[in-house]
Amino acid sequence: MIRQLAVVVPAEEVELVSDRLWGLGVLGIEEFDGTSNRTGGPSGTVCLVATPDDGDVDRLLAAVPGYPVSVVEIDDATWDGFLDAWRAAAEPVRAGSRVVLWPAWLAPPDSAEPADLVVRLDPGRAFGSGSHPTTRLAVAALERHLVDAGIDDRPGPALGPRPVVDVGCGSGVLTVVAALLGARPVTAVDTDPAAIEATQENAAANGVGELVEIGHGSTELVPSASTGPIDSTGSTDSTAGSIDSTDSTAGSIDSTGSTGSIGSTGSTGSSAGPIVVANLTAGLVCELVPELARIAGTDGRLLLTGILDERAGDVATALERHGWQVAEEHHDDGWVLLDAVVRPAG
């Protein structure tokens, strides 16, 4: 059985409570009319049904003090049906000026613009269908930093190899896009085993399986920007895609971040440092700023999203406390991406 937490909140607080729940770790959140027979809440309310990623409903209660709550149990078959129900309505999504995120179960496009980069994506049981505004924001940001604008703002050639680290890779959409746009090396980490599997499969399906390095864990798996040499080809062994954090042999990420481990983000011949992209939640991003900054180094860049507009100030403050500043803000449907760099001395 799958246990879920149902909480009834005022309509104007849906985003706030949802952000809290995502920050604690959930597989998904459904929204229902709070006045329906299912919930029986007062007018002007919404019922949020959240599924904890570890099955521990009690852990989510900390996010919803003072709200009416109940525990819902559904069988595994019903849960699988819920996970797959959205597929019938899935459509291709254009992100940035040239990337098209294409659901892998749909027929390939009959035609595409010459400059289009079609990325076939199947998230499986991982987060990241490609349709969320934060995904669009992150893809567009990667495109800005990895591809020359060309003539009349049309995308031109790749700017050369630049390391990219995708923290909380989910389905691997940003990992795959970065690799296809020419980033080298590309490293992805996630604490969800389903995300590791989905990222491996999506990287292979898009022809970049041997160019990405994937670790089950978080930032502790990724060395600092100044650590160790890099293989500028970005290649890995033939089983690419997986990093065993317990394996100390070459070709693995050592959880201590030791010199020479896969995912090292040192010099690649490009003057620009690593790009660290994190599509998480505002709370998680604030918590991880010191680690994200360590990975990016002084010449790197942080692309931070999964942040509601009203939480942008919190993240900007966390960045400032650690010597970083927001260089650009990009907004989409109530969500923001913060493009951050090290604050100049003085």
User: Is the same domain home to 147 and 170?
Assistant: yes
**For residue 94, what are the contacts with CB-CB under 8 A and spacing of at least 6?**
100, 101
User: Is the same domain home to 110 and 29?
Assistant: no
Q: 97 and 153 in contact (C-beta within 8 Å)?
A: yes
| pLDDT for res 249 | 29
Q: Over the chain (346 residues), what is each successive 10-residue block's mean pLDDT?
A: 87 84 80 70 84 85 86 72 66 90 87 84 76 92 82 57 94 96 95 92 96 96 67 34 36 36 46 88 92 96 93 96 97 94 87
Structure tokens belonging to residue 262 = 């896969």
User: Is the same domain home to 250 and 330?
Assistant: yes
CA-wise closest residue to 336 among 320, 313, 321: 313
Sequence letter at residue 251: G
| pLDDT for res 229 | 34
Q: 258 and 229 in contact (C-beta within 8 Å)?
A: no
Longest dimension (CA), the chain: 62
| pLDDT for res 332 | 93
User: Is the same domain home to 15 and 124?
Assistant: no
User: Is the same domain home to 234 and 108?
Assistant: yes
Q: Rounded to whole angstroms, how far apart are CA atoms 71 and 57?
A: 8
CB-neighbour burial class of residue 82 (10 A; exposed 0-12, middle 13-18, buried 19+): middle
Question: What is the residue-wise DSSP string for 192-251?
Answer: -HHHHHHHHHHHHHTT-TTTEEEEES-GGGS--TTSS---TT----TT-S-B-TT--STT
User: Is the same domain home to 39 and 166?
Assistant: no
Find where tokens 């065993």 sit: 244
User: Is the same domain home to 114 and 63?
Assistant: no
| pLDDT for res 288 | 96
User: Is the same domain home to 100 and 133?
Assistant: yes
Give, as one character, the DSSP assignment of residue 318. Answer: H
CA-wise closest residue to 210 among 230, 188, 240, 176: 240
Q: Rounded to whole angstroms, how far apart are CA atoms 6 and 11?
A: 15
CB-neighbour burial class of residue 37 (10 A; exposed 0-12, middle 13-18, buried 19+): exposed
What are the respective helix, strand and coil percentages of the chain, to the nearest 5?
30, 25, 45
Domain boundary among 43, 68, 85: 85
Structure tokens belonging to residue 33 = 């009319």
User: Is the same domain home to 114 and 62?
Assistant: no
Domain count of the fold of the chain: 2
Q: What is the CATH number of the domain that holds 17?
A: 3.30.70.120
Q: Rounded to whole angstroms, how far apart are CA atoms 238 and 300?
A: 29
Q: Rounded to whole angstroms, how far apart are CA atoms 319 and 121?
A: 32
Domain boundary among 85, 116, 144: 85
**What is the pTM for the complete model shown?**
0.74
User: Is the same domain home to 161 and 252?
Assistant: yes
Q: Rounded to whole angstroms, how far apart are CA atoms 45 and 112?
A: 43
Q: What is the CATH number of the domain that holds 182?
A: 3.40.50.150
Q: 194 and 170 in contact (C-beta within 8 Å)?
A: no
Q: 158 and 181 in contact (C-beta within 8 Å)?
A: yes
Which range marks the domain in which residue 63 is found? 2-85
Domain boundary among 33, 54, 85: 85
Phi/psi for 243 (5° steps) reads -125, 120
Find where tokens 């049309």 sit: 154
User: Is the same domain home to 175 and 322?
Assistant: yes
| pLDDT for res 289 | 97
Q: Rounded to whole angstroms, how far apart are CA atoms 195 and 96?
A: 24
User: Is the same domain home to 332 and 288?
Assistant: yes
